[in-house]
Amino acid sequence: MPRLTISIDPAACCAMGRCAATAPEVFDQDPDTGTVVLLDATPPPELHAPARLCAELCPCEAITVTEG
């Protein structure tokens, strides 16, 4: 089973919230700052596509997805 690992850089996050809206099982936003919170660094296979999409959509390049 392919493995996917997510890392985030909250310092780079500009609190747009796209990730939490696109994959709420994986990402949330800090209630005070709005910056990204990682809920699941190694999500199950059904969430790999949404996680990849979040990394592509993030306007601040604050999400990194590593596969393999």
- List residues binding ligand SF4 (CB under 6 A): 13-19, 29, 36, 58-60, 62-63
Q: How far is the CB of 45 from ligand SF4 (least distance, A)?
A: 22
CA torsion angle for 42, 30, 11, 66 (degrees, to 10)?
10
Q: How far is the CB of 49 from ligand SF4 (least distance, A)?
A: 16
Q: How far is the CB of 1 from ligand SF4 (least distance, A)?
A: 26
The two tokens of residue 49 are 């596509």
CA torsion angle for 36, 61, 24, 37 (degrees, to 10)?
-20
